Structure 1
């Protein structure tokens, strides 16, 4: 499955919508996706969302769509 992870670049500052960033990754479950990001980055994770069907097709059309590998 492909997951969209919304995060803040660090855990020190208060989260702000303007600084929220996105990465996409492939994992077996949302919990596995969260664990991958937590284990490999200093990011403050806001949301992990599964993408499939039309939602995935829409996201793949975005210029910044790229699967992150850890």
Structure 2
């Protein structure tokens, strides 16, 4: 399954839509994504499961790249 993580680069700032970034992970569940990111100094806003037509749409984006090594 592919998950899209919406996040802010700083845990200390109030989330602002214009500063929201995203990254993609292929894993079994949302818990695994959170575990992979637990040591990162980011503010996770939302983790979304991508499937079907929405996944195909995201794959066409120039920003779509599955994360292999988490180092922000």
| TM-score (norm: length of structure 1) | 0.91
What residue number does 2:30 align with? 30
What residue number does 1:69 align with? 68
What residue number does 1:57 align with? 56
What residue number does 1:45 align with? 44
What residue number does 1:12 align with? 12
Question: What is the distance in 2 between the residues matched to 1:63 and 1:45?
Answer: 22
Question: What is the distance in 2 between the residues matched to 1:38 and 1:51?
Answer: 21
1:12 is displaced (CA, Å) by 1.0
Question: What is the distance in 2 between the residues matched to 1:50 and 1:37?
Answer: 16
* Structure 2: runs of 5 or more not aligned: none
1:13 is displaced (CA, Å) by 1.0
Superposition misfits of 4+ residues, deviation over 6 angstroms: none
SS at match of 1:34: helix
